[in-house]
Amino acid sequence: MTHVFDEATAVEQVAPGTFRAHTHPAYNNMVGPFGGITAATVVAALQRHPEAQGHPLSLTINYAAPISEGAWDIAVTVLKTNRTNQHFTFLIDQGDGAVASGTAVFGTRRETWGDTEIAFPQVGTPEDYAEQPFPDFIEWAKNYETRFVTGSLNIDGPSDSSESTLWLRDKPARALDYPALASLADAFFPRAFLRRGTYLPAGTISLTTYFHASPAELDQQAGEHLLGTAVGARFGHGHFDQYAQLWGRNGTLLATTHQLVYFKDPKA
Amino acid sequence: MTHVFDEATAVEQVAPGTFRAHTHPAYNNMVGPFGGITAATVVAALQRHPEAQGHPLSLTINYAAPISEGAWDIAVTVLKTNRTNQHFTFLIDQGDGAVASGTAVFGTRRETWGDTEIAFPQVGTPEDYAEQPFPDFIEWAKNYETRFVTGSLNIDGPSDSSESTLWLRDKPARALDYPALASLADAFFPRAFLRRGTYLPAGTISLTTYFHASPAELDQQAGEHLLGTAVGARFGHGHFDQYAQLWGRNGTLLATTHQLVYFKDPKA
What are the angstrom distances between the C-alpha of B175 and each of A243, B218, B219, B223, B225?
29, 8, 7, 5, 10
A2 burial via Cβ count (<10 Å: 0-12, 13-18, 19+): exposed
Q: pLDDT-based confidence at B268, cuts 50/70/90?
A: low
Interchain contact, B239 vs A57, CB within 8 Å? yes
Instruction: Return contacts of B49-54, CB within 8 angstroms, 24+ apart.
Output: B49/B17, B49/B76, B49/B78, B49/B88, B50/B13, B51/B78, B51/B81, B51/B86, B52/B78, B52/B86, B52/B106, B53/B81, B53/B86, B53/B106, B53/B108, B54/B84, B54/B85, B54/B86, B54/B106, B54/B107, B54/B108, B54/B109
Compute the CA torsion angle B170, B88, A99, A86 (nearest 10 deg).
-80
User: Comparing C-alpha atoms, which of B150, B262, B263, B152 is closest to residue B207?
Assistant: B262
pLDDT digits (tens, 9 = 90+) for A221-245: 999 999 999 999 999 999 999 999 9
| Chain A residues within an 8 Å CB radius of B161 | 117
Q: pLDDT-based confidence at B250, cuts 50/70/90?
A: very high
Closest residue on chain A to B163 (Cα): A117
pLDDT digits (tens, 9 = 90+) for B118-137: 999 999 999 999 999 999 99
Is the previous residue joined to B133 through a cis bond, with omega within 30 degrees of 0? no
Collect all residues with Cβ–Cβ distance below 8 Å to A2 and sequence separation of at least 6.
none
Q: Does B64 touch chain A (CB under 8 A)?
A: yes
The pLDDT value given to residue B115: 98
List the single residue in A112, A117, A262 with the smallest CB-CB distance to B85: A262
Q: Is the pLDDT of residue A268 over 80?
A: no
The pLDDT value given to residue A1: 85
Interchain contact, A210 vs B258, CB within 8 Å? yes
The pLDDT value given to residue A117: 98
Q: Give me the phi and psi of B42, to 5 degrees please.
A: -60, -45
Q: pLDDT-based confidence at B30, cuts 50/70/90?
A: confident
Q: Is the overall model pTM greater than 0.95, yes or no?
A: yes
pLDDT digits (tens, 9 = 90+) for B100-123: 999 999 999 999 999 999 999 999
What are the angstrom distances between the C-alpha of A131 and each of A145, A152, A167, A261?
7, 11, 9, 27
Q: Which helix (H) or strand (E) holds B189?
A: none
The pLDDT value given to residue A239: 97
pLDDT digits (tens, 9 = 90+) for A168-221: 999 999 999 999 999 999 999 999 999 999 999 999 999 999 999 999 999 999
Q: Is the pLDDT of residue A142 over 90?
A: yes
Q: How far is it, in rounded angstroms, from Cα B65 to Cα B15?
A: 24
What CATH number labels B4-108+123-263?
A: 2.40.160.210
| Chain A residues within an 8 Å CB radius of B117 | 160-162, 195, 231-235
- The overall average pLDDT reported for chain A is 96
Q: How many CB atoms lie within 10 A of CB B77?
A: 16
Is the previous residue joined to A56 through a cis bond, with omega within 30 degrees of 0? no
CA angle A192/A193/A199 to nearest 5° reads 130
Q: Is the pLDDT of residue A267 over 80?
A: no
Q: How far is it, in rounded angstroms, from Cα B208 to Cα B256?
A: 9
What are the angstrom distances between the C-alpha of A199 and each of A189, A193, A237, A244, B38?
10, 5, 18, 20, 39
Q: pLDDT-based confidence at B96, cuts 50/70/90?
A: confident
Delimit the domains of chain A by residue range.
4-108+124-263
| Chain A residues within an 8 Å CB radius of B110 | 237-238
List the single residue in B60, B110, B195 with the smallest CB-CB distance to A237: B110
A251 burial via Cβ count (<10 Å: 0-12, 13-18, 19+): exposed
The pLDDT value given to residue B187: 97
Compute the CA torsion angle A147, A153, A157, A161 (nearest 10 deg).
60
- CATH superfamily, with its number, for domain A4-108+124-263: Acyl-CoA thioesterase, double hotdog domain (2.40.160.210)
Residue type at B212 in one-letter notation = H
Q: How far is it, in rounded angstroms, from Cα A243 to Cα B258?
A: 10
| Chain A residues within an 8 Å CB radius of B54 | none
List the single residue in B97, B113, B260 with the smallest CB-CB distance to A80: B97
User: Comparing C-alpha atoms, which of A221, A213, A146, A145 is closest to residue A176?
Assistant: A221
Q: Are strands A253-263 and B55-63 parallel, antiparallel or unpaired?
A: unpaired
Interchain contact, B64 vs A58, CB within 8 Å? no
Chain B stretch 201-240, residues whose beta carbon is closer than 8 A to a beta carbon of chain A: 205-206, 208, 210, 212, 214, 231-239
Q: How far is it, in rounded angstroms, from Cα A43 to Cα A58?
A: 10
Residue type at B95 in one-letter notation = G
Collect all residues with Cβ–Cβ distance below 8 Å to B119 and sequence separation of at least 6.
none
With pLDDT > 90 as the criterion, what percentage of chain A qualifies? 95
Q: Is the pLDDT of residue B265 over 90?
A: no
| Residue A242 Cα to chain centre, angstroms | 13
- Given a contact cutoff of 8 angstroms between Cβ atoms, the answer to whether B259 and B207 are in contact is yes
Please state the rounded mean pLDDT for residues A106-113.
Answer: 94
Interchain contact, B205 vs A89, CB within 8 Å? no
The pLDDT value given to residue B72: 98
Q: Give me the phi and psi of A29, to 5 degrees please.
A: -110, -170
Q: How far is it, in rounded angstroms, from Cα B139 to Cα B147?
A: 17
Inter-chain CB pairs, A–B, below 8 Å: 230
The pLDDT value given to residue B159: 96
Least Cα separation, residue A103 to chain B (angstroms): 6
The pLDDT value given to residue B1: 84
The pLDDT value given to residue B267: 66
Closest residue on chain A to B231 (Cα): A117
| Chain B residues within an 8 Å CB radius of A233 | 116-118, 212, 245, 253, 256
Q: pLDDT-based confidence at B199, cuts 50/70/90?
A: very high
Closest residue on chain B to A66 (Cα): B82
| Chain B residues within an 8 Å CB radius of A64 | 79-80, 82, 87
Q: pLDDT-based confidence at B201, cuts 50/70/90?
A: very high
The pLDDT value given to residue B266: 77
Q: How many CB atoms lie within 10 A of CB A249?
A: 17
Classify B164 as helix, strand or coil. strand
